[in-house]
Chain A
Amino acid sequence: MSTELERTESARASATAPAGVDGIAVVARTQGQMVRRRFFRHRAAIAGMLTLAFVILLAYTSIGFGPVTGWWDKTYVSTGPVIDGGRPTLGLVPNFLGGDGIRLGEHPFGQDNVGKDYFALVMRGTQRSLVIAFLIGIVVTVVGTLVGAIAGFFRGRVEGVLMRLTDTMIAIPTLIFAAVLAAVARGTGNIIVLGIVLGLVTWTNLARLVRGEFLSLREKEFVESARAVGTSPWRIIHKHILPNTVSVITVTATLTVAAGILLETALSFLGLGVQPPDVSLGSLVSQYQTAFQSRPWLFWWPGLFIVAIALSVNFIGDGLRDAFDPRQTRVRA
């Protein structure tokens, strides 16, 4: 598998595209370009990306974050009078079809029992979940790749130690491990610590896969020739082998982020994740689970957002997996 540098050089060498046998123009493309083309033809992945982008924009611009204010006029902490039993004022059925008309109203997602605006609460929870998801992605990628690369490349005792550590962590079911370690983050009350802790719990899968890739790639001729020329091990790893494992890393990291979101919401549901007064989608579901009969909107909206985020990330991961797979014959690159 040639790296991008070698491919672009050969592409530049044959700059003109000669007409092929059936009049199909033969265009030389780099691996990155091919992957991108295949990805953008995967409709579910595009839908996932658009949904995720929409959710991120909505969550961060609506109520704002830090010093930046948003366009939504209510905050997630201010209580007030409960109007109309807290029912949502969101209207989707237009007037001429007999509905309330398409409108947002004062409280599109309704209000909870102390009069807080539920839209602001759900947006706040989404913000928290997105931050944690992003942190999990970074930590998993960095730690998993490092451990897998070192173990796979250097082998010997280093690999033994690292793999025993990984196996020990795998022996503990993920939720249990996360529950026990999340207590550390509970003490500090800082959501960044929680994100890092959750990342430290879920990196093992990526490490195993990266190690597997490294084990097979280090036997290839281009590694042997690099070593023969006297290249240092770190340069071999990061310039020769790592670019070829990008596919595995990207796909696994994306799918781990999706699982991480569900893990965080589950922990918050059990009361072990994001602590009050801060809000998480899981803690919202937990708080209002008994209200399902009387005030179902309190239960539906956070759940729908969790599903939307996790589903989009899963579709993006699947699209990436199909895009990186060279045997994929369905979509012509």
Chain B
Amino acid sequence: MAIFIIRRLVISVLTLLAATFIVYVGTAVSGDPMQDLYGLQDAGDAERQMDERRRVLQLDTPIPLRYLSWLAGLLRGDLGQNIRGQDVSALLANAVAATLQMVIAATVLAIVFGIVTGIASALRQYSGFDYALTFAAFLFFSLPVFWVAVMLKQYVAIEFNNWLRDPVIPGPVILVASAINAVVWMAILGGDRQRRLTTLGVAFAAAAVSLEFLSATQWFADPGLGPVAVLVLAVGAAFGVTFLISGFRYRPPLVSALVAAAVGCGFYLVSEPVLADPSVWMIPLLAMATVATGLAIGYLLGGLQRRQAMVTATATGLLTGGVIMIDYLLQAYAGYAQRVRGRPISTVGSQTPNFQGDFWQAGLDSGGHLLLPTLALMLVSFAVYTRYTRASMLEVMNQDYIRTARAKGLTERTVVTKHGFRNALIPVTTLMAFDFGAVIGGAVITETIFGWQGMGFMFITGLNQVDPAPVMAFFLVAGGSVVVFNMLADIAYAYLDPRIRV
């Protein structure tokens, strides 16, 4: 395995070097770097600036030699200077953080939602839900990212911010939203006519009541969850997780999940001193504590279903932790709203300029700025993952070993989660590598539209100015991550699929 990894690493590095040569030469010949200097009024000054630029960009040496000198600089750890003489490494450091936030958020969300909907769609093949989702996936495939981004700017940002001034949900909207919610739940849960009608009614009523409540109390102006809502959500999470993992036939997993939820809520009630303004490392620390507690609860209360109980308790614990964090974020909104004059969803830049605030307010700020670009980037990736997972899951569910599992008497839940899901995921790992490259390309477009000073912006500016140094810096990070992801995908594939001999 180690030799395989090393061999792949070496080949990847060589491939990347060859690719850097292509990109460097392409950039250098793409235009005239002196373009903006031709129109200057003062002939003497123009001449001086042209000479200066010729020196900085080494325009007198042939292009391959320029590439070699860039490569030599790279091996020394120096990324060169851009056309204005600024150090590219410093520019890159600032830019990478912004872009990576966006790209990672979009990728993770697209993977999670895409795989879940793909599996649900495969299990309900040829149903209305499946057709609707297929059509939606095709639509998202065919949407141009830039068009979607501009529409999001208008409808999600500007209109939503306007609505927040008087956050009352009109009656017809409540009815339509509840109806949609009811139809979606009915499609997901399926079943015979009686069950479907019950799901329809319950989902409709629940959505209508909650939305009416939110509207009447003007919740959106001063949101927060409060202990009651946290408890309800935690218990709901416990039931949901148990339903997915072990079912309700045996008690212990459900009991452990509920105990974990109770512990989480108890922690919530006393968490004020710890979570009022936590430092960055407090959150991972708490996450680890949650996992440890969940495992302990499951182990102690699991009885005969110990392994499943540990999983359900841990998952419930983590979900409850998430709910608590959401509550803190929402409660910080009141203070944050004042600073942004009641318009939380921003369309420009990656953060509010000169922003000072505690951990939660900073989180809201990042989130508000991240929301639109991430949404725009996510749509296409989501469609690709859904289609791929659906196709893969369909193929797996038609295999003989699934039929054997059913014939053995396993519950449908076990057949799907333990046998189908894992095998369906194997081809999807190769997709993750390929998709990451597409997301980076999309990030270039979204950064241009939303005015983020990220890597993509650096790339476009560099390309327009025929300046190889920032373009190469961007490509090193982008191409390097694509290559790393490809390698990880190959390794994951070899690890997951026991038929592949490395």
A interface list, Cβ under 8 A from B: 164, 167-177, 179-181, 183-184, 186-187, 258, 262, 265-266, 269-272, 282, 285-286, 289, 292-293, 299, 303, 306-307, 310-311, 314-315, 318, 330
Stretch binding the partner chain, chosen from B11-19, B33-41, B323-331, B491-499: B11-19
Within the complex, the shortest CB–CB distance from A248 to chain B, in Å, comes to 15
Q: Which of B441, B471, B474 has the most CB of A within 10 A?
A: B441
Q: Which residues of A contact B448 (CB under 8 A)?
A: 270
Closest to A285 in B: B147
Contact A176 B475 (CB under 8 A): yes
Contact B449 A289 (CB under 8 A): yes
Within the complex, the shortest CB–CB distance from B345 to chain A, in Å, comes to 16
Contact B19 A186 (CB under 8 A): no
Contact B15 A168 (CB under 8 A): yes
A214 to B87 Cα, complex, angstroms: 49
A276 to B22 Cα, complex, angstroms: 27
Among A176, A292, A311, A318, which residue has its beta carbon within 8 angstroms of that of B478? A176
Q: Which of B126, B151, B474 has the most CB of A within 10 A?
A: B151
Q: Which residues of A contact B145 (CB under 8 A)?
A: 266
The SS class assigned to the A binding surface is: helix
Q: Which residues of B contact A299 (CB under 8 A)?
A: 150
Contact B141 A310 (CB under 8 A): yes
Q: Which residues of B contact A266 (CB under 8 A)?
A: 144-146, 445
Among B27, B141, B146, B440, which residue has its beta carbon within 8 angstroms of that of A180? B27
A183 to B25 Cα, complex, angstroms: 12
Contact A285 B142 (CB under 8 A): no
0/1 interface trace, chain B 125-163, chain A, CB 8 Å (1 if under): 010000000000011011111110011011000100000
Q: Which residues of A contact B486 (CB under 8 A)?
A: 171
Contact B30 A282 (CB under 8 A): no
A201 to B23 Cα, complex, angstroms: 12
| B460 sits at the interface (CB 8 A) | yes
Among B142, B153, B463, which residue has its beta carbon within 8 angstroms of that of A262? B142
Q: Which of A167, A172, A306 has the most CB of B within 10 A?
A: A172
Q: Which residues of B contact A180 (CB under 8 A)?
A: 23, 26-27, 30, 463, 471
Q: Which residues of B contact A314 (CB under 8 A)?
A: 138, 141-142
A170 to B486 Cα, complex, angstroms: 10
Q: Which residues of B contact A311 (CB under 8 A)?
A: 138-139, 141-142
Among A167, A176, A181, which residue has its beta carbon within 8 angstroms of that of B441? A176
A174 to B479 Cα, complex, angstroms: 11
Q: Which of B23, B139, B459 has the most CB of A within 10 A?
A: B23
B interface list, Cβ under 8 A from A: 15-16, 18-19, 22-23, 26-27, 29-31, 126, 138-139, 141-147, 150-151, 153-154, 158, 437-438, 440-442, 444-445, 448-449, 459-460, 463-464, 471, 474-475, 478-479, 482-483, 486
Within the complex, the shortest CB–CB distance from B217 to chain A, in Å, comes to 31
| Given A176-B459, A179-B460, A179-B463, 8 other A-B residues pairs in contact with their CB atoms under 8 A | A172-B22, A173-B437, A175-B445, A269-B445, A285-B144, A299-B150, A310-B141, A315-B138
Q: Which residues of A contact B158 (CB under 8 A)?
A: 293
Within the complex, the shortest CB–CB distance from A177 to chain B, in Å, comes to 8
Q: Which residues of B contact A272 (CB under 8 A)?
A: 463
The SS class assigned to the B binding surface is: helix
A174 to B474 Cα, complex, angstroms: 14
Contact A175 B444 (CB under 8 A): yes
Q: Which residues of B contact A258 (CB under 8 A)?
A: 141-142
Q: Which residues of A contact B153 (CB under 8 A)?
A: 292
Contact B126 A168 (CB under 8 A): no
A164 to B10 Cα, complex, angstroms: 13
Q: Which residues of B contact A310 (CB under 8 A)?
A: 141-144
Instruction: Take A176-B475, A179-B463, A180-B27 as given contacts and tell me if A307 and B143 are in contact as well, using a CB distance cutoff of 8 Å.
Output: yes
Closest to A263 in B: B441
Contact A175 B441 (CB under 8 A): yes
Among B150, B459, B463, which residue has its beta carbon within 8 angstroms of that of A289? B150
Q: Which residues of A contact B463 (CB under 8 A)?
A: 179-180, 183, 272
Q: Which of B26, B126, B151 has the most CB of A within 10 A?
A: B26
A181 to B22 Cα, complex, angstroms: 10
Instruction: Take A171-B483, A269-B445 as given contacts and tell me if A183 and B31 are in contact as well, using a CB distance cutoff of 8 Å.
Output: yes
Contact A306 B23 (CB under 8 A): no
Within the complex, the shortest CB–CB distance from A164 to chain B, in Å, comes to 7
Contact B26 A183 (CB under 8 A): yes
Contact A173 B138 (CB under 8 A): no
A310 to B148 Cα, complex, angstroms: 14
Contact A285 B30 (CB under 8 A): no
Among B26, B151, B445, B478, which residue has its beta carbon within 8 angstroms of that of A181? B26
Q: Which residues of A contact B29 (CB under 8 A)?
A: 183-184
Within the complex, the shortest CB–CB distance from A202 to chain B, in Å, comes to 12
Instruction: Take A186-B31, A315-B138 as given contacts and tell me if A173 and B445 are in contact as well, using a CB distance cutoff of 8 Å.
Output: no
Contact B475 A330 (CB under 8 A): no
Contact B445 A303 (CB under 8 A): no
A171 to B19 Cα, complex, angstroms: 7
- 21 intermolecular pairs with C-beta atoms under 8 Å apart: A168-B18, A168-B22, A171-B19, A171-B479, A173-B437, A173-B441, A176-B459, A180-B26, A183-B29, A187-B31, A269-B144, A270-B444, A270-B448, A282-B144, A293-B154, A303-B147, A307-B144, A310-B141, A310-B143, A311-B141, A314-B141
Q: Which residues of B contact A285 (CB under 8 A)?
A: 144, 146-147, 150
Q: Which residues of A contact B459 (CB under 8 A)?
A: 176, 179
Q: Which residues of A contact B15 (CB under 8 A)?
A: 164, 167-168, 171
Q: Which residues of A contact B471 (CB under 8 A)?
A: 180
Q: Which residues of B contact A186 (CB under 8 A)?
A: 30-31
Within the complex, the shortest CB–CB distance from A61 to chain B, in Å, comes to 24
Instruction: Take A167-B15, A172-B23, A318-B138 as given contacts and tell me if A292 and B30 are in contact as well, using a CB distance cutoff of 8 Å.
Output: no
Within the complex, the shortest CB–CB distance from A292 to chain B, in Å, comes to 5
Contact B138 A174 (CB under 8 A): no
Q: Which residues of B contact A168 (CB under 8 A)?
A: 15, 18-19, 22
A265 to B145 Cα, complex, angstroms: 10
Instruction: Take A176-B444, A293-B154 as given contacts and tell me if A270 and B142 are in contact as well, using a CB distance cutoff of 8 Å.
Output: no
Q: Which residues of A contact B154 (CB under 8 A)?
A: 292-293
Closest to A165 in B: B18
Instruction: Take A164-B15, A181-B26, A318-B138 as given contacts and tell me if A174 and B460 are in contact as well, using a CB distance cutoff of 8 Å.
Output: no
State the 10 A-B residue pairs at the shortest beta-carbon distance, nearest first: A183-B30, A175-B441, A310-B142, A180-B26, A311-B142, A173-B437, A303-B147, A171-B19, A168-B18, A269-B146
A169 to B437 Cα, complex, angstroms: 12
A144 to B449 Cα, complex, angstroms: 33
Contact A303 B144 (CB under 8 A): yes
Closest to B441 in A: A175
Q: Which residues of A contact B437 (CB under 8 A)?
A: 170, 173-174
Within the complex, the shortest CB–CB distance from B228 to chain A, in Å, comes to 41
Within the complex, the shortest CB–CB distance from A40 to chain B, in Å, comes to 19
Closest to B126 in A: A330
Contact A171 B482 (CB under 8 A): yes
Q: Which residues of B contact A175 (CB under 8 A)?
A: 440-442, 444-445
A258 to B478 Cα, complex, angstroms: 24
Q: Which residues of B contact A174 (CB under 8 A)?
A: 437-438, 441
A169 to B444 Cα, complex, angstroms: 19
A314 to B165 Cα, complex, angstroms: 41
Instruction: Take A180-B26, A266-B445, A315-B138 as given contacts and tell me if A173 and B479 are in contact as well, using a CB distance cutoff of 8 Å.
Output: yes
Q: Which of B30, B126, B153, B479 has the most CB of A within 10 A?
A: B30
Q: Which residues of A contact B150 (CB under 8 A)?
A: 285, 289, 292, 299
